[in-house]
Amino acid sequence: MYAVLRRYNVNRGAVDQILQRVNDGFVPQISKARGFVAYYVVNSGDGLVSVSVFEDKQGADDSNRVASEWVRQNLHGLITTAPVIISGDVAAQHMAAV
């Protein structure tokens, strides 16, 4: 598996608006991406961090292009700087038994 973390600095008071747009517009789009496994957004208190997990690097790379375009079109004025993007192979994992 391959993961992408994107760290966004956001305008004060914009978190709820961003999360609504992400849930309504971006989540349906990214969940259809090739090799999609999971998507999460963490509210760090001073920004947002998204975590996207894919079966392989190609799916993750494709998602970066999709995310970049989506953010440019839908979050203009709500994001203060370009995101910091970290990506790589998932090196360790463990999930609770359901």
Domains in the chain: boundaries: 2-87
pTM above threshold 0.85 = yes
Nearest Cα residue to 45 out of 7, 75, 83, 71: 7
Phi-psi region of 68 (alpha: psi -120 to 50; beta: other; left: phi over 0): alpha
Which CATH class for the 2-87 domain? alpha beta
Q: What is the DSSP letter of 52?
A: E
CA 45 to CA 89: how far, in whole Å? 27
User: For the segment 6-25, what is each residue's pLDDT rounded down to a tens digit?
Assistant: 999 999 899 999 999 999 99
CA 41 to CA 23: how far, in whole Å? 10
Average model confidence (pLDDT) across the chain: 94
